[in-house]
Structure 1
Amino acid sequence: MDTMSEARLQTQQRSSRNGRETSLWSSGFGMKLEAVTPFLGKYRPFVGRCCQTCTPKSWESLFHRSIMDLGFCNVILVKEENTRFRGWLVRRLCYFLWSLEQHIPLCQDAPQKIMESTGVQNIISGRAPGGAGEGQGPSLVKKEVQRILGHIQTPPRPFLLRLFSWALLRFLNCLFLNVQLHKGQMKMVHKAAQAGSPLVLLSTHKSLLDGILLPFVLLSQGLGVLRVAWDPRIFSPILRALLKKLGGLFLPPEANLSPDSSEGFLARAVFHEALAPLGLWTGALAALRSLRGWGRGRRVCAHVHLAQPFSLQEYTINARSCWDSRQTLEQLLQPIVLGQCTVVPDTEKEQEWTPVTGPLLALKEEDQLLVRRLSRHILNASVASSAVMSTAIMATLLLFRHRKLLGEFSWLTEETLLRGFDVGFSGQLRCLVQHTLSLLRAHVALLRVHQGDLLVVPRPGPGLVHLARLSAELLPAFLSEAVGACAVRGLLAGRVPPEGPWELQGIELLSQNDLYRQILLLLHLLPRDLLLLQPCQSSYCYCQEVLDRLIQCGLLVAEETPGSWPACDTRRQRLSAELLWKPSGDFTDSDSDNFEEAEGRYFRLSQQSRCPDFFLFLCRLLSPLLKAFAQAATFLRQGQLPDTESGYVEQLFQHLQATAQEEGFFECADPNLAISAVWTFRDLGVLQQMPSPAGPMLHLSPTFASWDNQEKLEQFIQQFICG
């Protein structure tokens, strides 16, 4: 859910020649004002498409180009036309009548169906773990099933559900001016629901209001009610009893036990069968508890994004068929870091380490890998579907390009739209900047200077940390260019000093093979969660995409060396020697896979006036994470090991805070960056996790016990940092 300001100034719009900017003239003063629109040309970007490689049928069948033209609707706008009745009294009671007409399916025999299900019957009969065959009689197991089922849910109350939906509709109208939903995105969800399979929705939880908006949107659009499972520990007994009557599902305490435990197996089996009955509004009251004071300010607008659905069955089949051999980060990168090897292995990086807890413990290793790879796809779709907000753009400008906020705010918004990302704001440029600064007033200082100009200065300490977190929301839009810029910086690190003039850096020739190598090294170093690299996407294809982006944005210019084949000539150089003897169906020598043909291709940094600032801007987008990694390498000499993972993360976070106080770079003082650094160093073989009586403990590996290797690790990371 994204929030944007509502500008209510009376203006006249006049489209400019390029169709991307609008000039607004104030009726009173005749002053020319620029407007920011959430689209380029006629249409705004349509975001959130599913993976074409893993789910090609869903990608094609659940989308049609006509849905891009359907526009938006206000889901909290309920009028007389939304009910079956007409008249002046209906217009006054339309909210209540609308809530009474909502279809709420009942499932009175849900407990009996759960008891008669195959999984539960196998446990009762002793044919499965945790059943009567393990020392318990069928009657005792049946009573235990009923107890667990009573803990999970109670029969919902339809009248209470309708009454609550009416109250929620009135509350949302008091809180929001409107809640926008793209009709095309909703049409895709409707088409997926018509297939008959259960529809699973995953929320990014950008706001506390997600628990209110998402169930309401589904109900108002005819998709029925939302089934939500919650941890009972976060609710009081009274609130838990009320939510059960509203259809809430609560995880039993035994569900988090070991998969070898009979109690855990029984609880998970009952809960799995209980997911079929009704569940509704479980997130609403939880969010309402934290909304005190929201109604005091001005009402705002909201935008709900829905990514394109895809078939989980189709993904499972295709994902398992395309698994290939991979190497760990330690195998890929450690020899290069230590200077033992210069060639990057021709293989993909294995899945990074993540803690396996809760329901994942009950899955096989192959299924755990499938779930993790699925999470990468979902993360990619959720980020692509999320609109970039004005606070993210303003925070990025304040941190990295603080010059003229009005002009650069418009420029950065247009660059974001050009890259296919949606923005969640529109209006007059000056009003948008003023409103955004008012939202950030706790983290910036406004100073008036001569001639009425306003100087905006970020507040040090927590203010800079907050701005860094906001600016991270803009990173996905410029991620490919940022990776490429840092890779170029790493390639020039041994040739030109970072503080050297741009003209001196532009003299250096950059071979395409060297660029590929540096990009690959940085790709392996950075977490895949940050890169949003889908599991089905090859790293080498991503390298080519990064290089193409650098050329498209004008940072790199092709340089034809004497005797080399012209870059614009697409003819085959060794056609008779390499291709004539091959069968017609052999595509192993395609241009996208053969990097040997790029040996004679060279590039230079462009000498255009805007390139130095843009290059520095792109490098600084990744600087918080890379500097946190570099400081983590320095901290290896001071850290107290062995220690638990959480303990060492806390040590590193305190070190990042202390370094920020000394150097003034507070963007690194983030606990999430400390966690990312520890996990990356664990994959790289810098830290080793070993069992102990007190639990798993982190140790410094013997390889990096020497200061020499620690220095090599720090230098390897420092080469990608600029500014």
Structure 2
Amino acid sequence: MVQEKNDEINKDLGLLPIQQNRPALSWELKIKKKVRTVPPCLGKFRPAVGQCCHQCTPDSLRKKLGQNSFLGFHNLLSVDETQTRYRGWLVRRVCCALFVSGCKVYGSPVNNRLERVCQSNRLKEVLAADHKAPEGEDGQGQLSCLPPFLPLINTCISSGLLRFMCWAMLKMFASVFGSVQVNLSHLSALHKASQASSPLVYVYVRQSAMDCALIPLVLFCHNLRIPYTVCPLRISSSFLRSVLQAVGVILLPSSAVTELEAEMDPLYSPLMTSLLRELLHEDQALSVGVSAESGQGGQWLARIRQLIKEGSVPDISLVPVGISYDCVTKTNIKVDLRSALQWLWSLLWKKPNGSVRIHLAQPFSLKEMCESGRCRVDEWLPLQDLLLPVILNYRAKSVFGKRRMSWLLPSYVSEQSHPERDLSVAVILHLIFSATSCAAVMSTSLVSSLLLYRHRKGVRASTLCRDVAWLTEELLFRNRDVGFGGSLVEVVHYSLFLLAPHLIIAAAPSRSDPLIVPRPSPAATLHLSLQAQTVTHTFISEAVGACAVSAMLCEVVFSGVSSKVRTDGVEGEEVKGDMEFDVVLCQAELTERALQLCHLLPPGVMPPCQSSQSFALDAVDSLVRCGILIMEEMARDVPICDFWKREGTLTWATSDDPYHSDSDCEDQDLRSYKISQPSQCPEMLFFLCSMLAGHLRALCWTTAALDLIGTSLAEAEFVSQIHSYLRDTANQKKQHYESCSEEAAHTAVRTLIDLGVLLEERQTGGIFLGVSPLFQLSENRQKLHRFISQYLYN
């Protein structure tokens, strides 16, 4: 596929080696005349990612200061004789088995864990409350109540089976991926933390079932303790369950289909809390995946926090893990032996495609984060208190505060009080953001974002290469690492090869510069949108600011104040040349629009330690740094740079001055902005606006779908109907398929619940959703639709 010209250099630098063969590039010569190489910052000077939060955990951050920030990368699949104690012809053929046999394994026998779990006061109280066991009965007598959970309690780590499984995974991943690169920068800190008294808990954002296997494999290959892995998949085969439970995989109960169903069992939560306590007492490591859409997985972190608050566990060290795929592989929720064997058989005939980049972040203390008071949740407010009066025109401005997302930790999976639950949710949001921030941006993510958000109607390969070089520089400037290396042409060619099923690549015989167009199909658009999420996360501040600017410009256009606001997308008279924006934007109003948009964002995209007001100000300032906005200062007597006088620091008066007033320090800042005029500004503005268009459009369509829902429905059925409406709307428009995914439907429904548009009713059959009386009025639904749609630039 791609012929790597700098294998030795890239190996030294830890860059992505691309080993597949490829035909000659017909458009390579023409592109090299315009853009010769990738930016020089793809050398040894790479961004330092994965550092602890300087606000919440400064003591943990201080332990890392002064160490080397970049130690290179290690490809797990590149196993040779140098990694063994032996040399020779035979060793080179069995070097993988020798390497696995030489790795250190920390065994984990069960011993009397079942008895210790049954002696838990938490479990005894639940059994007594449910009248499942007589009061005062010992732990052995309670075993009759726990048969479905006994295999979960007896989960262990068998040294021999673990070595075999790791050898099999190395062979399996070699058939799936071209390479599995691990950032070595924080491994020394992990080794030191593993020798301390605090157990390690690895937290990652769920993308694929391979996440559960990659993290233990990475730790095994670097002689770190293998964690007990929480697996959210339903494994129906008893043989597979036995094998996985013997290598430390904590599965769902065999009777439960989903995590939600398992958590509804009154015995499951206290039993898992007691199991976690015993595992942490044994100094075992844990691996937990968290879902950014539903919050599933966060209940395990809440249980650990509860144990620390009770004093059962002194402290733990949290390690965010960022995992990046060239191509994310979706896995079925139900896994049986037949489907597993069929998948393994298909690997024998499949060539490895794509790569994986894994970043293990710096460990930090959970106790320091929660008990120091630095992680604050006192400004959290319900979303309907923040935005509903603004939407319904009851109030001009939104109040200060941050959106409360308590649904990330439902009440039936937590024993904590309301303030403690909010703090647990803050920890979950912090880890989602940290794990996503330290993940590398892959080349397919760059190309997908450019094709989906900037060149939806198609782009020439040479132009795409220039944009990839520009976007790479912007990512590195924002301290975001990238998961590729090599010459620019080969990086783009490699990405196009992986994305080929979702693209249309056409070239005339007389031209050597092909045209690349995204396929206008739901599957292709959803795949590109999924790949582009890491780029959106990096530019979230700029995207919020751009949408706020777009909202104000649309208001000016509709009001008819200025005739000089023109775009190429305006119907009617054709506009040629550069876009003209002869509009002055007030800083206060622009910040207010950005602040209101912040409250509509999905969880995990905003920095959790930053207030919404500060983020909104940064969003506006980021557009100034990008060159989209130019600051203007209105003429005034007192210079705006006179900070001391403006803040009242130098305000004093003599006693004989009867006319003294402090009104001089109460003047409002008269800052304003104008749109810059360079030719690339409009394109950049729309590129940033497009990053949030899918989420905002899904909210608009969901609001429109409320007209078709008359009665209350079960939550699953309600989300299913919304998802069907989103699909039908996208198919009818034949575009905007990124707004019709199942995740988009879940996120939109949850936002409308927080806004008070939908009401939750707990009934015997579960949770039912219905439209609130306030929004049964079409007038209010139209106001909500107008409020959301103002941020859609098109």
Q: Same fold (TM over 0.5)?
A: yes
Which category describes the TM-score, using the shorter chain as reference length? Answer: 0.7 to 0.9
Please identify, of 36-45 and 379-388, the stretch whose mean Cα deviation from structure 2 is larger. 36-45
| Matched residue type, 2:512 | G
Distance, in Å, in 2 between the alignment partners of 1:694 and 1:377 is: 34
Percentage identity across paired residues of the two chains: 31
- CA deviation after TM superposition for structure 1 residue 153, in Å: 2.7
Partner SS state of residue 421, structure 1? coil
* Residue of structure 1 aligned with 2:487, choices 428, 434, 447: 428
* Residue of structure 2 aligned with 1:603, choices 654, 658, 673: 673
Query: Contact 2:565/2:581 (CA < 8 Å) preserved in 1?
Result: no
- Pairs within 5 Å for 1:482-521: 482-497=543-558, 500-501=565-566, 506-521=581-596
- CA deviation after TM superposition for structure 1 residue 578, in Å: 5.1
* Residue of structure 2 aligned with 1:555, choices 603, 618, 628: 628
* 1:345 pairs with 2:399: yes
Compared with structure 1, are the counterparts of its residues 89 and 655 closer, same or farther at alpha carbon in structure 2 (3 Å cutoff)?
A: closer
Partner SS state of residue 562, structure 1? coil
* 1:399 pairs with 2:474: no
- Pairs within 5 Å for 1:666-685: 666-685=737-756
Query: Contact 2:49/2:480 (CA < 8 Å) preserved in 1?
Result: yes
Partner SS state of residue 66, structure 1? coil
Query: Contact 2:762/2:768 (CA < 8 Å) preserved in 1?
Result: yes
- Pairs within 5 Å for 1:653-692: 653-665=723-735, 666-692=737-763
Distance, in Å, in 2 between the alignment partners of 1:571 and 1:447 is: 62
Deviations 1:211-266 (CA, angstroms, capped at 9, x unpaired): 33321211121212221234684240111222333344445469976789468645
- CA deviation after TM superposition for structure 1 residue 707, in Å: 1.7
Distance, in Å, in 2 between the alignment partners of 1:38 and 1:207 is: 33
- CA deviation after TM superposition for structure 1 residue 465, in Å: 2.8
| Matched residue type, 1:342 | A
- CA deviation after TM superposition for structure 1 residue 175, in Å: 5.2
TM-score by length of 2: 0.77
Query: Contact 1:40/1:418 (CA < 8 Å) preserved in 2?
Result: no
| Matched residue type, 1:104 | V
Please identify, of 412-421 and 36-45, the stretch whose mean Cα deviation from structure 2 is larger. 36-45
Query: Contact 1:50/1:308 (CA < 8 Å) preserved in 2?
Result: yes
Deviations 1:76-120 (CA, angstroms, capped at 9, x unpaired): 444445444566655554433333333323344x33255246944
Distance, in Å, in 2 between the alignment partners of 1:631 and 1:147 is: 43
Match of 1:111 in 2: 111
* Residue of structure 2 aligned with 1:645, choices 708, 715, 737: 715
* Residue of structure 2 aligned with 1:269, choices 254, 257, 274: 274
| Matched residue type, 2:566 | P
- CA deviation after TM superposition for structure 1 residue 342, in Å: 0.3
Query: Contact 2:628/2:676 (CA < 8 Å) preserved in 1?
Result: yes
* Residue of structure 1 aligned with 2:363, choices 284, 303, 309: 309
Partner SS state of residue 36, structure 2? strand
| Matched residue type, 2:620 | L
Compared with structure 1, are the counterparts of its residues 57 and 692 closer, same or farther at alpha carbon in structure 2 (3 Å cutoff)?
A: same
Distance, in Å, in 1 between the alignment partners of 2:212 and 2:262 is: 27
* Residue of structure 2 aligned with 1:35, choices 24, 34, 37: 37
Query: Contact 2:646/2:666 (CA < 8 Å) preserved in 1?
Result: no
Compared with structure 1, are the counterparts of its residues 437 and 357 closer, same or farther at alpha carbon in structure 2 (3 Å cutoff)?
A: farther
Deviations 1:284-318 (CA, angstroms, capped at 9, x unpaired): 99997545544521465432211221111111213
Distance, in Å, in 1 between the alignment partners of 2:485 and 2:369 is: 37
Deviations 1:571-624 (CA, angstroms, capped at 9, x unpaired): 53364665899xxxxxxx9xxxxx976631111111122111111111111111
* Residue of structure 1 aligned with 2:606, choices 488, 513, 532: 532
Query: Contact 2:2/2:493 (CA < 8 Å) preserved in 1?
Result: no
Match of 1:336 in 2: 390
Compared with structure 1, are the counterparts of its residues 291 and 510 closer, same or farther at alpha carbon in structure 2 (3 Å cutoff)?
A: farther
| Matched residue type, 1:532 | M
- CA deviation after TM superposition for structure 1 residue 384, in Å: 0.7
* 1:460 pairs with 2:539: no
Partner SS state of residue 786, structure 2? helix
Deviations 1:142-168 (CA, angstroms, capped at 9, x unpaired): 565688444533665433333333444
Match of 1:585 in 2: none
Deviations 1:614-669 (CA, angstroms, capped at 9, x unpaired): 11111111111111112222222223332222222222222222222232322222
* Residue of structure 1 aligned with 2:49, choices 36, 47, 50: 47
- CA deviation after TM superposition for structure 1 residue 473, in Å: 2.7
Compared with structure 1, are the counterparts of its residues 484 and 689 closer, same or farther at alpha carbon in structure 2 (3 Å cutoff)?
A: same
Deviations 1:545-585 (CA, angstroms, capped at 9, x unpaired): 1122111111111112222654555453364665899xxxx
- CA deviation after TM superposition for structure 1 residue 330, in Å: 0.9
Distance, in Å, in 2 between the alignment partners of 1:146 and 1:655 is: 43
- Pairs within 5 Å for 1:604-619: 604-619=674-689
Deviations 1:32-88 (CA, angstroms, capped at 9, x unpaired): 562335835751112122222211111221x23432142223344444454445666
* 1:323 pairs with 2:383: no
Distance, in Å, in 1 between the alignment partners of 2:61 and 2:84 is: 35
Partner SS state of residue 190, structure 2? helix
Distance, in Å, in 1 between the alignment partners of 2:452 and 2:558 is: 23
Query: Contact 2:117/2:275 (CA < 8 Å) preserved in 1?
Result: no
| Matched residue type, 1:441 | A
- Pairs within 5 Å for 1:429-444: 429-444=488-503
Please identify, of 328-337 and 564-573, the stretch whose mean Cα deviation from structure 2 is larger. 564-573
Distance, in Å, in 2 between the alignment partners of 1:648 and 1:579 is: 63
- Pairs within 5 Å for 1:52-451: 52-61=54-63, 63-85=64-86, 90=91, 93-108=94-109, 110-116=110-116, 119-120=119-120, 133-134=134-135, 136=137, 139-142=140-143, 148-150=149-151, 152-153=153-154, 156-173=157-174, 178-230=179-231, 233-252=234-253, 261=266, 265=270, 269-270=274-275, 272-273=277-278, 290=343, 292-294=345-347, 296-298=350-352, 301-319=355-373, 322-351=376-405, 353-354=407-408, 356=410, 360-402=413-455, 403=459, 404-449=463-508, 450-451=510-511
- CA deviation after TM superposition for structure 1 residue 501, in Å: 1.9
Distance, in Å, in 2 between the alignment partners of 1:304 and 1:556 is: 36
Partner SS state of residue 181, structure 2? strand
Distance, in Å, in 1 between the alignment partners of 2:432 and 2:271 is: 31
Query: Contact 1:243/1:282 (CA < 8 Å) preserved in 2?
Result: no
Partner SS state of residue 558, structure 1? strand
Gaps of 5+ in 1: 14-24, 582-588, 590-594
Compared with structure 1, are the counterparts of its residues 451 and 357 closer, same or farther at alpha carbon in structure 2 (3 Å cutoff)?
A: same
Distance, in Å, in 2 between the alignment partners of 1:707 and 1:199 is: 52
Distance, in Å, in 2 between the alignment partners of 1:288 and 1:211 is: 15
Partner SS state of residue 769, structure 2? strand
| Matched residue type, 1:49 | Q
| Matched residue type, 1:500 | V
Compared with structure 1, are the counterparts of its residues 137 and 561 closer, same or farther at alpha carbon in structure 2 (3 Å cutoff)?
A: closer
Please identify, of 423-432 and 331-340, the stretch whose mean Cα deviation from structure 2 is larger. 423-432
Query: Contact 1:154/1:245 (CA < 8 Å) preserved in 2?
Result: yes
Deviations 1:495-528 (CA, angstroms, capped at 9, x unpaired): 1259932688632222221122111111122233
Distance, in Å, in 2 between the alignment partners of 1:522 and 1:245 is: 48
Q: Number of matched residues? A: 690
Distance, in Å, in 2 between the alignment partners of 1:393 and 1:515 is: 29
- CA deviation after TM superposition for structure 1 residue 712, in Å: 1.2
Distance, in Å, in 2 between the alignment partners of 1:337 and 1:51 is: 35
Query: Contact 2:117/2:274 (CA < 8 Å) preserved in 1?
Result: no
Match of 1:586 in 2: none
Query: Contact 2:387/2:755 (CA < 8 Å) preserved in 1?
Result: yes
| Matched residue type, 1:194 | Q
Partner SS state of residue 200, structure 2? coil
